[in-house]
Amino acid sequence: MNVLQLRKQLATRPELPEISGIVVRNYAGRGDISRWSDLLDAAFTAAQPPVRRMGGSEFSQQFQGSLWWSAKRMWFAETNNTLQPVGTVTLGLRQGKTRTSPAVHWLAVLPSWRRLGVARLLMAHLEQSCWDAGFRQVDLETHRGWRAAKKFYQTLGYRNTLRSSTRTKPDASKRIASG
C-alpha cells in the first residue's frame, strides 16, 4: 500500500467558510450510521485502489469500539433545505506513548457536490475543533493514487511528514488510510 503521511501546522484559529445552502452539524444519533456508510460508498466508488463497501458494522468497528470516537468529532455537511448529506469527516485521536495526536479519518464528499468547497468547509470544522482543544498540528494518511485527495490536502497546506511509505499488508487495498 502506497501511503502518504501528511501533516499541517495550525498557526491561527481556523475560520469557517460559508457555502450557500450547506450547513455542517455533528453526528446526531443512530440514523447517521447509514448516512455515513452511504456517503463513504458513494464517495469512494471509483477510488483506485478501491475501498471496500462500508456498512453499519464497519461504522461500529471503526468508531464505536474505539476509545477516542465522539459524536462531537464527526461532522456531516448537508443541504439546509432537504437535509441531504453531501459530505462527512471524522477527527481521530491517536494515543502515542507520550502524547495524543489528532488525525483526519474518512473525509468524503459526494461526487455531484465536489469542487464547491464542501471538503474545505468540513476540514475547517475539524481544524477549528483541534485548535480549540489545544492541538496545533493535524495528521492524516492518504493513498498516493488518490489524486483528488492529494491535491486537496496540498491546497489546504498539508505536507509530507516522514517519508511516504510503501507498506504491503494482506487486504490492504480494500481498507485504507485515515484521511
Binding site for ligand COA (CB under 6 A): 43-44, 107-109, 114-120, 142, 146, 148-149, 151-152, 155, 177, 179
Write down the least CB distance from residue 176 to ligand COA, Å: 8
For ligand COA, give the closer residue by CB, 5 or 142.
142
| Cβ neighbourhood burial of 8 (10 Å; 0-12, 13-18, 19+) | buried
Nearest to 118 by CA among 107, 131, 127: 107
Q: How far is the CB of 33 from ligand COA (least distance, A)?
A: 19
CA distance 67 to 75: 18
Task: Give the nearest distance from C-beta 133 to ligand COA in angstroms.
Answer: 22
**CB 142 → ligand COA: shortest distance, Å?**
4
Residue 46 is given by DSSP the state T
Residue (29 or 146) nearer to ligand COA, CB: 146
For the chain, helix, strand, coil in percent to 5 are 30, 30, 40
